[in-house]
Structure 1
Amino acid sequence: MKKINDFQMLLTQEITNLDRFIIKAPLGTNEFWSQWQEKAGQIVITKAAIKKALKIYKGKLPEEEIAKLQAVLDSYREIASYLELLRETALRLKGVSSDNWDIFDSIEDDDEIEF
């Protein structure tokens, strides 16, 4: 039997953590929109929490922590793109044309996250 290395364990953990963002309801249903709103809200709240933590600890975080936070933000940016693609697809199925909108970056960014 092959031994699982640290990288494989981390990757499995990350996939499990991010799996909660998969929307399983059929596109355009009320359940879909409810799940979509919940997951989009989680992204908005996570970004706000990271921004606040970085403001409070500006200049006091070790490089390793900064790298972890950047990786988290990158993951959430990818998830936001997935959610946006689903939103646009669901709206198009209803015959509604929508502008490209970015859940992650459309949150007020008057003081952008600085690492």
Structure 2
Amino acid sequence: MEKPTDFELLLAQEITNLDRFIIKSPLGTNEFWSEWQRKAGEIVITKAAIKKAIRIYEKKLPPEQLLKLSAMLESYREIASYLELLRETALKIKGIDIEGFTLFDSMEGDNEEEF
């Protein structure tokens, strides 16, 4: 058996880190909404912390660290998109159409200028 490369190890670690955001409760159940709320809250807080860290330390951090923070921020944006898709789907199942309303963008101003 071949030894995994550094890239393969990093990828496996990232998948493990992000796996905690997968919602396992059945769509639309009370358990789903509780789990969704916990994970959505974590995303909002983590994204805010990363944005603040970038704003405060932008000129003090080495470029590699800023690149890493930007990559983390992008990962959390992708997770927010996943959670938003689940929310929209769960609401549509209940017959609620929320066309044109994206929760994460309206909560955090994701359309702000990027770093």
TM-score (norm 1): 0.89
2:53 is aligned with 1:53: yes
Q: Return the offset for 1:108.
A: 3.8
Q: Return the offset for 1:53.
A: 1.4
Structure with the bigger RCO (C-alpha within 8 Å, sep 6+) is: 1
Q: Which structure 1 segments of 5+ residues have no match?
A: none
2:48 is aligned with 1:43: no
Q: Return the offset for 1:102.
A: 4.4
For residue 2 of structure 2, what is the aligned residue in structure 1?
A: 2
Letter paired with 2:102 = W
TM-score (norm 2): 0.89
For residue 74 of structure 2, what is the aligned residue in structure 1?
A: 74
For residue 65 of structure 2, what is the aligned residue in structure 1?
A: 65
Give the conservation status (yes or no) of the 8 Å contact 1:21–1:79: yes
Give the conservation status (yes or no) of the 8 Å contact 2:23–2:32: yes
**How big is each residue's C-alpha offset from its partner over 1:41-76, in whole Å with a ceiling of 9 and x where there is no partner?**
111101111122123213111110111011101111
For residue 101 of structure 1, what is the aligned residue in structure 2?
A: 102
Q: Which structure 2 segments of 5+ residues have no match?
A: none
For residue 26 of structure 2, what is the aligned residue in structure 1?
A: 26
**How big is each residue's C-alpha offset from its partner over 1:62-110, in whole Å with a ceiling of 9 and x where there is no partner?**
110111011101111111111111001100110111134041x333449
- The percent of aligned pairs where both chains have the same amino acid is 70
Which structure 2 residues correspond to residues 79-94 of structure 1 after superposition, within 5 A? Answer: 79-94=79-94
Distance in structure 2 (CA, Å) of the matches to 1:25 and 1:97: 22
**SS of the counterpart of 1:107?**
helix
Distance in structure 1 (CA, Å) of the matches to 2:113 and 2:31: 33
- The number of residue pairs the alignment matches comes to 113
